[in-house]
């Protein structure tokens, strides 16, 4: 089951401490006495200059003037290399200016100075996730959680990084823990639902889905997810009702065309299973409106129409399906059979030959091809095809009878008698036309063959 796309957790960055708390400028002190030496006055002036620069940089950041803030902080770091607040805020600046590599480098420098600085650790992890370095990001999120185990954003982002790095089992655990940290959070529950469905843990998946529906009862996408979950549990009638509910709500919402097409396609399959073929055909046709489902729509329309004996209607859909999937032997075989039933024997033969080129093991296609050759009065082709078939599977009464008739048409008396006899040995229905024809032709051929042998002598 496909879920709605999740926002990348890396989109949220935390400003440094200097951004979380206002920078306060020191109150003017008393006039320095003339006894203070020049070195102390210089240090105090520099400290005040640093505070003024940090305050100005913060004001620029609040106005989102990142270039200005970066210049101010770079100048400060030139004078005071390794200044923690300046490093932290400049890293944040660089991240907003999309200078990701520089931001990552500065966050690492900051953490070397103060490993337990939570904003730096979290922002570093988020940037690594943005760069799709998920294993590295997961390691940093884990360190951040050691500092703040109950921080929702960190827990959710950690789960995301774990999932994208391939550790879905642990990711599921942390998605569920993130959901516990925020009772109103939808995203971790959606993510957990997807993983639970992959694991086929239906009971827990249903529980999470019910939580989601309680949080967002107007979210009709959840109805589609519920339909998919019910379908996977084999609850077909409930699933069909949920798909119909989803499709009724489409007009008032703006779902992705692929999701609507999938719902129509699944509803079509469910209706067909119930024997409601007209409803199935309507849904299959609607599914085909989305390009991503055009092939599947054509296939199911063709198969359903063919099953109803409406082969003339089925053929155009088979043709379209073959155009979209030219290397699919099963589709070509289906088209060939439909053409055969439509009495278009020559095209049926060409189509079935191509199907057998793609898949030489399709026994049923040999049967249909032999029939196409026979009905288009090409008995030699029928004989050759049936001989190939016999190397793959045991003879049936139908193949024996067709072999006999084809040899008979070719004037091959001995072979015709052999296969008429083999057909009769299968004890077919004594009232069938094939039985009477085989018995009659066998008697005639025995007499004809004897006369032919006498003349030869």
Q: What is the pLDDT along the chain (457 residues), one digit of tens a residue?
A: 334 444 334 344 554 433 333 322 333 444 444 555 677 776 777 788 888 888 888 888 889 898 898 888 888 888 888 888 888 888 899 988 999 999 999 999 999 999 999 999 999 999 999 999 999 999 999 999 999 999 999 999 999 999 999 999 999 999 999 999 999 999 999 999 999 988 999 889 989 999 998 998 878 788 888 898 889 888 999 999 999 989 988 877 778 889 899 999 999 999 999 999 999 999 999 999 999 999 999 999 999 999 999 999 999 999 999 999 999 999 999 999 999 999 999 999 999 999 999 999 999 999 999 999 999 999 999 999 999 999 999 999 999 999 999 999 999 999 999 999 999 999 888 778 899 999 999 999 988 887 665 554 4
| Integer Cα distance of 68 and 59 in angstroms | 10
Pair 369, 391: CB distance under 8 Å? no
| Integer Cα distance of 158 and 149 in angstroms | 11
Count of other CB atoms within 10 angstroms of residue 218: 8
**pLDDT confidence of residue 4:** 40
pLDDT in tens, 259-299: 899 999 999 999 999 999 999 999 999 999 999 999 999 99
Q: Which of 5, 13, 10 lies closest to 130, judged by CA?
A: 10
* CA 433 to chain centroid: 52
**pLDDT confidence of residue 131:** 93
**pLDDT confidence of residue 429:** 82
**pLDDT confidence of residue 85:** 86
pLDDT in tens, 348-358: 999 999 999 99
Pair 83, 76: CB distance under 8 Å? yes
**pLDDT confidence of residue 251:** 75
Domain boundaries, the chain: 1-22+43-131
Q: C-alpha distances in angstroms, 46 versus 39, 52, 81, 389, 432?
A: 11, 10, 14, 96, 112
> Could you tell me the two tokens for 161?
């990084």
| Integer Cα distance of 223 and 231 in angstroms | 12
> Could you tell me the two tokens for 439?
């018995």
| Integer Cα distance of 274 and 243 in angstroms | 15
**pLDDT confidence of residue 66:** 87
**pLDDT confidence of residue 34:** 52
Sign of CA dihedral 297, 302, 303, 305: positive
**What SS3 string covers 406-443?**
HHHHCCCHHHHHHHHHHHHHCCCCCCCHHHHHHHHHHH
pLDDT in tens, 158-169: 999 999 999 999
Count of other CB atoms within 10 angstroms of residue 275: 8
* CA 231 to chain centroid: 16
| Integer Cα distance of 234 and 238 in angstroms | 9
In CATH terms, the fold of domain 1-22+43-131 is: 1.25.40
| Integer Cα distance of 256 and 258 in angstroms | 5
């Amino acid at each position: 089951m496909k879920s709605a796309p999740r926002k990348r957790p890396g989109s949220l960055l935390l400003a440094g401490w200097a951004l979380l708390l206002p920078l306060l400028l020191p109150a003017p002190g008393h006039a320095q006495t003339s006894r203070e030496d020049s070195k102390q006055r210089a240090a105090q002036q520099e400290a005040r200059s640093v505070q003024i620069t940090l305050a100005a940089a913060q004001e620029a950041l609040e106005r989102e003037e990142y270039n200005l803030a970066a210049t101010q902080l770079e100048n400060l770091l030139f004078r005071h290399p390794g200044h923690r607040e300046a490093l932290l805020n400049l890293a944040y600046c660089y991240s907003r200016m999309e200078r990701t590599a520089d931001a990552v480098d500065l966050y690492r420098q900051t953490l070397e100075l103060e490993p337990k600085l939570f904003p730096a650790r979290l922002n570093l992890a988020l940037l690594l996730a943005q760069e799709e370095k998920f294993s590295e990001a997961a390691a940093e999120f884990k360190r951040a959680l050691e500092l703040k185990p109950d921080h929702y954003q960190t827990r959710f982002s950690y789960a995301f990084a774990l999932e994208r790095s391939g550790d879905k089992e642990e990711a599921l655990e942390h998605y569920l823990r993130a959901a516990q940290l925020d009772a109103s959070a939808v995203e971790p529950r959606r993510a957990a639902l997807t993983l639970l469905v992959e694991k086929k843990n239906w009971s827990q998946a249903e529980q999470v889905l019910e939580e989601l529906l309680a949080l967002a009862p107007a979210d009709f996408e959840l109805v589609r997810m519920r339909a998919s979950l019910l379908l996977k549990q084999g609850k077909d009638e409930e699933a069909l009702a949920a798909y119909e509910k989803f499709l009724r709500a489409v007009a008032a919402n703006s779902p992705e065309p692929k999701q609507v097409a999938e719902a129509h396609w699944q509803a079509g399959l469910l209706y067909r299973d119930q024997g409601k073929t007209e409803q199935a055909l309507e849904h299959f046709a609607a599914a085909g409106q989305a390009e991503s489902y055009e092939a599947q729509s054509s296939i199911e329309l063709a198969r359903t129409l063919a099953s109803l004996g409406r082969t003339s209607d089925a053929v155009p859909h088979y043709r379209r399906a073959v155009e979209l999937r030219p290397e699919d032997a099963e589709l070509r075989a289906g088209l060939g059979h439909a053409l055969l039933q439509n009495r278009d024997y020559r095209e049926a033969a060409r189509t079935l030959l191509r199907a057998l080129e793609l898949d030489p093991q399709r026994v049923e296609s040999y049967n249909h091809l032999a029939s196409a050759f026979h009905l288009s009065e090409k008995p030699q082709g029928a004989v050759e095809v049936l001989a190939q078939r016999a190397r793959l599977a045991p003879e049936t009464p139908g193949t024996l009878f067709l072999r006999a008739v084809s040899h008979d048409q070719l004037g091959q008396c001995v072979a015709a008698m052999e296969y008429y006899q083999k057909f009769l040995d299968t004890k077919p229905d004594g009232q069938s036309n094939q039985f009477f024809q085989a018995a009659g032709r066998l008697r005639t051929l025995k007499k004809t063959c004897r006369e032919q042998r006498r003349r030869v002598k």
